[in-house]
Structure 1
Amino acid sequence: MAGIDARTGRPLGGWSHVVQSVGILLTTRLGERQMRGYVGAVTAALLGRLVNRANLLRLLQSIAVAIELFEPRFKVSRVVPVRLERSGRVEIWIEGEYRPRGHLGDPRPEGTRRITLATGEQGEGIRTS
């Protein structure tokens, strides 16, 4: 599956496209997209809430569920909060299998990958490792 890089406008494919898609998915509220109101996640609605055990579990669950529902090229195995600070700095790892042909119904993995969601001093964004 190929798409367009949201920052540069150039063609984007493979794992980079999956990472961009996950980022868009997790920052899109349900009902926000005009023609695809069913696509999105409740993660944006949880941001800014008190960081307690219940809200943290809701956030981690909403990440896993949104990816499971809307991104067939990545099968989540773990969502791990790595850093949660009072200053607002947050780092979450999303680990799973990269399935490059998952959107075609082919579940064969091409290895495990990690997506890192980060906010705070280093800036907001999504990184991979």
Structure 2
Amino acid sequence: MTGMDARTGRAITGQAHIEQSVADILFTPLGTRLARREYGSLLPELIDGPVNPVMRMRVMAASVMALARWEPRIQVNQVDFGSTGIDGGAVLELQGERTDGPRAGTVFSMRLPATHGRGTA
């Protein structure tokens, strides 16, 4: 699948397109897309909460649920959420497999700062 790079406007494909799509899905608040109010995830609502075991579980569940619904090219097998140890920052780590075409079964891994989309990514 070919898409457009959100920063450069150029064509983007493969893993780079999936990574951009995943970030867009996870950091788009529910209800903010006019034609697709259910697009996005609960992650933006959780980011500023206290980092504790309950919040970690909510972040991981919100991530898996949103990606299962909106990104058919991947299957998430593992999610981790924790502190970066720098300025109270947090990071979301995803691992799984691609499910699309000739890349099906290929392992992928992503690491996203929890501040993505808030001007600091």
Instruction: Give the TM bin, normalised by the shorter chain.
Output: 0.7 to 0.9
Aligned residues with identical type, % of pairs: 31
Alpha-carbon RMSD across the aligned residues, in angstroms, is: 2.2
2:43 equivalent in structure 1: 43
> Which is further off, 84-93 or 70-79?
84-93
C-alpha deviation, 1:64, in angstroms: 0.9
Deviations 1:65-99 (A, max 9, x none): 11111100010000023535483221221000012
- Measured in 2, the distance between the counterparts of 1:119 and 1:58 equals 14
Instruction: Please list every run of 5 or more consecutive structure 2 residues that lacks an aligned counterpart in the other structure.
Output: none
Is 1:32 matched up with 2:32? Answer: yes
> Which is further off, 108-117 or 43-52?
108-117
Is 1:114 matched up with 2:109? Answer: yes
Instruction: Please list every run of 5 or more consecutive structure 1 residues that lacks an aligned counterpart in the other structure.
Output: none
Q: 1:37 to 1:119 in 2, by over 3 A?
A: closer
TM-score normalised to structure 1 length: 0.81
Contact 2:47/2:114, CA 8 A, preserved across alignment: no
- Measured in 2, the distance between the counterparts of 1:12 and 1:111 equals 19
Q: How many residues align?
A: 118
Give the residue type in structure 1 aligned to 2:99: R
